[in-house]
Chains A and B, each alone.
Chain A
Amino acid sequence: MSPDEEEIVPAVRADNLYKIFGKRSDRALKMLSEGASTDEAKALGVTPAVVDVSFDVEPGEIFVVMGLSGSGKSTLIRMLNGLLEPTGGHVEIDGANITDLRPKELRSVRQKKISMVFQHFALFPHRTVLDNAAYGLEVQGVDTAERRERAQRALGMVGLEGWETHLPEQLSGGMQQRVGLARALASESEIMLMDEAFSALDPLIRRDMQTQLLELQSQLGKTIVFITHDLNEAMRLGDRIAVMRSGRIVQIGTAEEILNDPANDYVAQFVQDVDRTRVLTATSVMEQPLAVVAANAGPRAALRTMRENQSGAAFVLDRERRLVGAVRADPVAEAVRKGEDKLDGLIEEELQTVTPDTAVADLFAPAAESPLPLAVIDERNRLLGVIPRVTLLAALGNVNGHDAPRHTSVAEMEAEADDVPGPAADDDGKEEAAGVDS
């Protein structure tokens, strides 16, 4: 994907997809596309599994389709690689319509572009781990030596070196699914479909696998369509989440959008039990850093900034808004009294910093250890925002509604650098924090 392309072609695109099982599916399709309800269509004796589903999956994105069993998500994912033929609508892979392809062309798309990971692993019991991982390559006609090498590499990526000659049944469930993952990775297709891939694993293993998938994803940048019925899993993995209910998509959005702005009661009910501290990130609770001083400013200016903001400390930034450190009011006042004109020697450089996508749950430990507010910095060390301890606590108390005021007064907290109400915990927060230097 070169950045100078005018429009990014979605890796996967579903366009008004319908899948209706039953004899009179054509009539049902017509009824549904004219706006009939699913129940009306069911009266024809058909089962509408997927109804008018459209979405784009951007390259490099993890797109999660979340729904309870029977919501049509498994049917949907099987249409994306043509295992099931849509009753209506079509699927595009890298901009090419695959719905009308002949079987042979479709097979070639599956070999090269899309791989799949299955709920119950679907490993071949009569093949070794290595031969299982090499299956996709074998189908592509890659010769033995090369496919073994590539399968070996894929097994290495999922941490299964040394298990090549074992049989799937000799492995634990989590390891088996890693073989399934390696099989999908080995074919080196850009798109991976994961059908309830971790649902058959017990919760601890499932978390490990999620972590591993996220790590792999940060290295490989595949386009992943992930099906799950577990909302926490969806929130943890998904860049965007599509919530499905009886064949329709009821909402598509980021985890935070779905949490904070559910499209309807169904979604709202669904998300009410979610552990928000795991879903909300530093971005959504951080505030504008007001008490900041330039690195080349004098103690007098620093002290004034702190006074203006009724703060006991200030963050020190360089010209590019990169975080240098922090200064506290007392030593600065001392320096002013002594008539010094530089902050050198007063700056504390050991600060607790977090990245914007750190989960709120993971902010508590650093916040507890730090006397200063947490600094939220981007990958270039630029200060995006700050999270005073009291803001964090307020956010925690606030998990049931985003409309309530985020926090009250912070001025009484000693050594807290901020007392101005920050942006609300919605999307705008991100932009305001990012555009803080304007």
Chain B
Amino acid sequence: MSTPDMGAHVLASSQWVNQHFPFFGDIGKTIAGWFSWLQVGKWFSALVDWATNHLDPLFSFINDVLQWCVDSLTSVFLFLPALIFALILALIAWGIRGVRFGIFAFLSLALIVQMGQWKDAMNTLSLVLVASVIAVVIGIPIGIASARSSTVSSIVKPILDFMQTLPAFVYLIPAVSFFSIGSVPGVVATVVFALPPGVRLTELGIRQVDKEMVEAGEAFGAPPMKILTRIQFPLALPTIMAGINQVIMLSLSLVVIAGMVGAGGLGGVVYQAISNLDLVAGFEGGVAVVILAIYLDRVTASLGTRSPVARAQKAAAKA
């Protein structure tokens, strides 16, 4: 059965229903009339308008702070000559993951320099880092709260679902009306987009910690905060780090989309290239994004394996 056939079939039968039972359509119209007051989109727009008009001082404060963070981070990254900073990043990669990845990191970062994308890449990197740090700082406490209380969890979960599935472009619009064009709406939209995995994996990690171990803490009279910091958090850390890794990856993917609202960086390069159908610039910008992604992913993934358990194992092996 091919699809067009089926479509035609469905259409024909719906026409048949309308012909023979016209009151179905009327009932539909009547019911729709009852709910004409329900204007989800308009309400949201009104809410955004209200916030824009009334919370302006708050938004401009956030705007200033974020702008300052992104700008200063970018200028730090660009302070040193490109190749020297690339070398530093490569050395970090070496230290964390090993010499092979270090060499790969240096060569690929040097490729970004060679393509003339370094400045934009560093701009993107600082956007990603600022957005990720904010997402982690907000996400982990929410994750902890959801792990500790099923009520919080059941409230947070649908919100996270909403944040994750609402197309990213859609929350770029209010972000722009709050913060106008520039890096900041990009950062804010990125935070919203990248937050959910941080929350979810923190919750999962803490809930996965063996119940008996938490009980052991309780049975010896440890206060809840100590159980969290000394037992649950250290044991959940590998999962939480996986969440942070996901946050960074999602940030990077949205930062490119944020180029549309003038966030600059590689996103800007790619967006311009799309507008001009400039395959050369588009591909180079895209490759630079991929290189940054690989670098950030591998480095943060390695950090995840340095859990307290793994560290203890190392220490015990030495002893």
Contacts and interface: CB of A to CB of B under 8 A. Distances in A.
Interface string B295-319: 0000000000001110111011001
B316 A122 contact: no
Interface in A104-150: 104, 106-112, 114-116, 118-120, 122-128, 135-136, 139-140
A348 to B, nearest CB: 56
Contact of B216 (A109, A118, A169): A118
Interface stretch (B69-77, B142-150, B157-165, B207-215): B207-215
A187 B312 contact: no
B57 interface: no
B316 A187 contact: no
B219 A83 contact: yes
A52 B200 CA distance: 41
B221 A122 contact: no
A124 B213 contact: yes
Contacts of A127: 312
B221 A110 contact: yes
Given A107-B223, A115-B219, A128-B315, 6 more contacts: A110-B220, A112-B221, A126-B234, A165-B316, A166-B319, A170-B316
A167 interface: yes
A167 B316 contact: yes
Nearest to A81: B219
Nearest to B224: A103
B213 A107 contact: no
Tell which of B216, B235, B313, B319 has the most Cβ of chain A within 10 Å.
Answer: B216
Contacts of A81: 219
A166 B235 CA distance: 18
Contacts of B222: 107, 139
Tell which of B219, B222, B312 has the most Cβ of chain A within 10 Å.
Answer: B219
A140 B312 contact: no
10 contacts: A83-B215, A83-B219, A107-B223, A116-B220, A118-B212, A118-B216, A120-B212, A126-B311, A136-B220, A140-B221
Interface of A: 78, 81, 83, 104, 106-112, 114-116, 118-120, 122-128, 135-136, 139-140, 165-167, 169-170, 183, 187, 193
Given A139-B226, A167-B316, A109 B221 contact: yes
A123 B234 CA distance: 14
B231 interface: yes
Interface of B: 210, 212-213, 215-223, 226, 231, 234-235, 307-309, 311-313, 315-316, 319
A345 B235 CA distance: 74
A165 B319 contact: yes
Contacts of B219: 81, 83, 110, 114-116, 118, 193
Contact of A167 (B210, B212, B312): B312
Contact of B235 (A108, A126, A139): A126
Contacts of B226: 139
Nearest to B212: A122
B313 to A, nearest CB: 6
Tell which of B221, B223, B226, B313 has the most Cβ of chain A within 10 Å.
Answer: B221
B220 A119 contact: no
A106 to B, nearest CB: 8
A122 B312 contact: no
Contacts of A183: 220
Contacts of A107: 221-223
A147 B220 CA distance: 14
Contacts of B315: 128
A-B residue pairs, 8 tightest by C-beta: A111-B221, A110-B221, A116-B219, A122-B216, A126-B308, A122-B212, A107-B221, A165-B319
B308 A116 contact: no
A135 B220 contact: yes
Given A107-B222, A116-B220, A139-B226, A128 B316 contact: yes
